[in-house]
Amino acid sequence: MITLHNRAIAYILLNRLEEALADVNRLLESDPNHATALNTRGEIYRQMGRHKESLSDLNKSFGIKSYNTDMTYLRFGTCPNCKEYNTGFLYCHSCDSQLCQKWTSGNFEIDKFIKNAQINSKYYHKVIEFIPFNKLENIKQIGQGGFSTVYSATWIDGKRLYKYDINLLNCYCLANHSQ
């Protein structure tokens, strides 16, 4: 489904609106309440001059997004720092994505790729992080191909782990555990 939406966006950028509309319609056939697809189709309709259909899709998308925001609050609570809704357990997209910006790998292209992935992530477990070599131990070569060598290692500081207690509807952070 993500591929269809991404291809529709590419078609929009190329001003191939009929093809973009076909992809978004296929996506909406499988999930009629896909807020992002409705929003995209509303934008396509707007660019095509089909303003009544555009308004209809954008209004429906807005209603779904409002519902999703309420559900996000109920599931993940609010960030203690900025008071916005968390987008995942112990993850605030607004605050956590900014915390990830204070590092460099030394390679501009790698930094740009990782920072873009961090900014666009809504969930902690989907964030790409740069781990400096001095934060790794037990480094072992596990494979080699035509243009690269693959290694396995243990991250000394480890990722942020959390435990969810369904009875208390709460999360507890278990910081600094190696994985």
CATH no. of 2-73: 1.25.40.10
What 3-state DSSP class applies to 129?
Answer: coil
Q: Find tokens 């779904």 and name the residue.
A: 64
Cα gap 23→21, rounded to integer Å:
5
| Higher pLDDT among residues 16 and 31, named by residue | 16
At residue 17, the pLDDT reads 94
The residue ranges of every structural domain in the chain are 2-73, 84-125, 131-179
Pick from 7, 14, 5: nearest CA to 38:
5
At residue 101, the pLDDT reads 60
Q: Are 41 and 57 in contact (CB under 8 A)?
A: yes
With a cut of 70, say whether residue 12 has pLDDT above it. yes
**154's tokens:** 């243990």
Phi, psi of 152, rounded to the nearest 5 degrees: -120, 145
At 143-159, the pLDDT tens digits run: 888 888 888 888 887 76
pTM above 0.85, yes or no: no
Q: Are 61 and 67 in contact (CB under 8 A)?
A: no
Cα gap 71→85, rounded to integer Å:
10
At 20-73, the pLDDT tens digits run: 999 999 989 988 878 888 888 998 998 999 999 988 888 887 765 554 554 544
Cα gap 179→162, rounded to integer Å:
13
